[in-house]
Amino acid sequence: MFYIESRLPVKLVYFEGCLNKEDAYNRERYLKTGMGKRYFKNRIKRGLTG
């Protein structure tokens, strides 16, 4: 929390919900891989431009 507090204000641009911790953990691990970063970048780009 300290890391974010020193960089306020922030804007939430993307959110994913998971049913349990295991699903959330696996999704986060995927998004931190090379393919996951590419997916995330494309998702944000397309989502913000319509």
pLDDT tens, 1-50? 567 777 788 788 778 899 999 999 999 999 999 999 998 888 888 876 55
Question: Domain for residue 8, yes or no?
Answer: no
**Would 43 be classed as within a structural domain?**
yes
Q: Does residue 30 sit within a domain?
A: yes
- Residue-level pLDDT at 1: 58
User: Is 5 within the bounds of a domain?
Assistant: no
Residue 1 and residue 40: Cα distance in Å, rounded? 23
Number of domain units in the chain: 1
Residue 28: give the domain boundaries: 19-50
The Cα-based distances of 6 to 12, 13, 24 in angstroms read: 16, 19, 26
- Distance, CA of 21 to CA of 36 (rounded, Å): 19
Q: Is residue 12 part of a domain?
A: no
| pTM higher than the cut 0.75 | no
Q: Are 43 and 14 in contact (CB under 8 A)?
A: yes
Domain membership of residue 46 (yes or no) is yes
48 found inside a domain: yes
